[in-house]
């Protein structure tokens, strides 16, 4: 994988082979393979967090004008096609780095860097977002706690778990998944009981929970979908753990799709019942904690407290998955010398990219304190969608183009599916706020500038080696 050419326009193969994928050349410099298929599915679910629909519900139902369920359904369409594309690429290139690695291999290393840099924004900010949301929910129960201290309750265990390795994280993920599923079952049971008591069993079936003609608009639905996509971000993180996995690349891809579908079911179920319990989406005293108010309505303070505590604790597992994924992308870029080699250093005992993990912890803490939630929402979606667009395009170029897999049985997975993923992801990107798009484009420009500088440095070093 070369990223520059010499003065004769020939690839400096020896130098780039030294740089590219250096981290995978020996067991001593490789990530420890400990994850099974079950662990990968749970990893994806934990990153997406089945309870994330609860934290987003207030803002989502207001933005979509009461169409949270439809927003999730439209978002799912885009994500299914995109998840299939990730599965295809994971089977072909079972490497850490995910979006960055796939786009580098299928299109070009430079485009891969830009795509990886864009989605890195997603992985960098998701832990910040989860630290802050979890802290806000916990402060609902303990209002005297300051934000700077509450954030540490989440950041410290996340960083320690990732520092020690994927086998420690996978055990914590299983526990967190069970807690989140318990919270969902509990809320849905209380919601059904509340609806039956206030109108009979027919009250649990309401088309207005999905579509309300009096408030519906395509603009609102598009804006809502751009928020709903936040919950889906994470299925792709499964593929960042390819080098931590014992299973083959194709199985990693299937795990990503399975995690997406299971989580989608729970998202839609929750927001449907939340919508029909409180039909007036403008009635909440705070959009940030709207689900807390709904939980009080259907089950009193006891249920609200349980749900809030589980939402807060689940922030640990979701941020843990986000930090793990971001560290693998930084590790992959560092191994390819597109970032300083510091990012590619592995702990001699735990075989984790510990420098990347510690840097992400510091950045995550500062960002959670300084950046408003509304800005975090928009930036995360922008970075993810750019990455998704790149992977869908990579499938078309790699399989339909380079490998000439164009027969009828390959038409949907190699062409139609990725095209639909491109169209829907592109459509959602249009719905991102001007602020989100502006800051996102600035981030991409910074990445391109950094790539230009690193390319010049590598070319200079290559010319020096060639002259020796």
Query: Which pLDDT band, with edges at 50, 70 and 90, does 298 fall under?
Result: very high
Dist CA 183 CA 452 (whole Å): 48
Q: Which residue has the higher pLDDT, 5 or 447?
A: 447
Q: What is the pLDDT of residue 283?
A: 86
Judged against a pLDDT cut of 80, whether residue 385 lies above it is answered with: yes
Q: What's the average model confidence in pLDDT over 387-414?
A: 91
**What value does the mean pLDDT take over residues 18-31?**
42
* Confidence at residue 103, expressed as pLDDT on a 0 to 100 scale: 92
- Write out pLDDT tens, residues 304-328: 888 888 877 777 777 877 788 788 8
Identify the band that residue 158 occupies on the pLDDT scale cut at 50, 70 and 90.
confident
Distance CA 65, CA 211 (A): 10
The mean per-residue pLDDT over the stretch 332-356 comes to: 83
Instruction: Using a pLDDT cut of 90, give the percent of the chain over it.
Output: 20
pLDDT in tens, 61-79: 998 999 999 999 988 887 8
Asked whether residue 399 carries a pLDDT value surpassing 90, the answer given is: yes
Q: 13-467: which CATH topology?
A: Amino acid/polyamine transporter I (1.20.1740)
Q: What DSSP element (H or E) covers 249?
A: helix 249-277
**How far is 179 from 236, CA to CA, in rounded Å?**
23
302 pLDDT higher than 80: yes
Give the mean pLDDT of the chain: 80
pLDDT band at 333 (very low <50, low <70, confident <90, very high): confident
Half-sphere exposure of 403 (CA within 13 A, CB side): 18
CA distances from 85 to 90, 278, 387, 407, 415 (A): 9, 38, 12, 18, 10
- What Cα–Cα distance (Å) separates residue 334 from each residue in 100, 285, 343? 12, 46, 5
Residues 172-201 have a mean pLDDT of: 87
174 phi, psi to nearest 5 deg: -60, -45
The whole-number pLDDT of residue 73 equals 92
Kindly state the average pLDDT of the residues 47-52: 80
Q: How confident is the model at residue 265 (pLDDT cuts 50, 70, 90)?
A: very high
Task: Judge whether residue 252 has pLDDT over 80.
Answer: no
CA angle 94, 100, 104 (to 5 degrees): 85
Place of tokens 């009461």: 66
pLDDT-derived band at 15, boundaries 50, 70, 90: very low
Q: Which residue has the higher pLDDT, 176 or 402?
A: 402
Q: What is the DSSP string of 159-178?
A: HHHHHH-HHHHHHHHHHHHH
Is 464 a residue whose pLDDT tops 80? no
Does the pLDDT value for residue 80 go beyond 80? Answer: yes
What is the pLDDT, as a whole number, of residue 167?
62
The answer to whether 250 and 52 have CB atoms below 8 angstroms apart is no
* Beta carbons within 8 Å of 462's beta carbon, 6+ residues apart: 4, 6, 12, 15, 16
Confidence (pLDDT) at 19? 31
């Amino acid at each position: 994988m070369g990223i520059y050419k010499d003065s004769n326009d020939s690839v400096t193969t020896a130098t780039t082979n030294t740089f590219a994928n250096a981290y995978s050349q020996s067991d001593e410099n490789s990530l420890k393979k400990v994850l099974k298929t079950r662990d990968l599915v749970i990893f994806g679910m934990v990153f997406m967090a089945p309870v994330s629909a609860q934290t987003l519900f207030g803002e989502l139902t207001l933005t979509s004008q009461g169409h949270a369920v439809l927003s999730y359904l439209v978002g799912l369409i885009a994500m299914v096609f995109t998840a299939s594309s990730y599965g295809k690429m994971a089977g072909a290139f079972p490497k850490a780095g995910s979006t960055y690695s796939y786009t580098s291999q299928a299109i070009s290393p430079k485009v891969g860097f830009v795509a990886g840099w864009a989605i890195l924004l997603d992985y960098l900010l998701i832990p910040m977002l989860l630290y802050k949301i979890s802290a806000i929910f916990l402060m609902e129960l303990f209002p005297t706690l300051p934000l700077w201290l509450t954030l540490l309750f989440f950041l410290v265990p996340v960083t320690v778990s990732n520092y020690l390795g994927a086998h420690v994280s996978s055990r914590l993920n299983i526990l967190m998944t069970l807690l989140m599923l318990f919270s969902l079952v509990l809320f849905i049971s209380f919601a059904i009981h509340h609806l039956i008591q206030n109108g009979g069993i027919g009250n649990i079936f309401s088309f207005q929970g999905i579509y309300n003609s009096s408030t519906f608009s395509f603009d609102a639905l598009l804006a809502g979908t751009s928020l709903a996509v936040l919950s889906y971000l994470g299925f792709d993180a499964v593929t960042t753990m390819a080098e931590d996995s014992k299973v083959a690349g194709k199985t990693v891809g299937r795990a990503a799709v399975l995690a997406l579908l299971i989580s989608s079911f729970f998202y839609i179920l929750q927001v449907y019942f939340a919508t029909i319990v409180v039909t007036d989406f403008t009635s909440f005293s705070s959009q940030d904690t709207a689900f807390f108010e709904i939980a009080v309505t259907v089950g009193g303070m006891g249920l609200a407290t349980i749900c809030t505590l589980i939402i807060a604790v689940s922030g640990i597992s979701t941020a843990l998955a986000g930090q793990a994924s971001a560290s693998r992308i930084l590790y992959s870029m560092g191994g390819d010398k597109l970032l300083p080699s510091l990012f590619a250093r592995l702990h001699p005992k735990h075989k984790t990219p510990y420098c990347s993990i510690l840097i992400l912890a510091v950045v995550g803490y500062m960002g959670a304190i300084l950046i408003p939630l509304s800005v975090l929402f928009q930036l995360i979606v922008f970075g993810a969608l750019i990455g998704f667009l790149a992977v869908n395009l990579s499938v078309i170029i790699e399989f339909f183009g380079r490998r000439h897999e164009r027969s009828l049985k390959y038409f949907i997975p190699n062409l139609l599916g990725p095209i639909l993923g491109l169209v829907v992801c592109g459509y959602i990107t249009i719905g991102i706020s001007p602020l989100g798009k502006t800051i996102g484009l600035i981030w991409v420009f910074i990445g391109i500038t950094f790539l230009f500088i690193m390319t010049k440095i590598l070319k200079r070093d290559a010319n020096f080696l060639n002259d020796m």
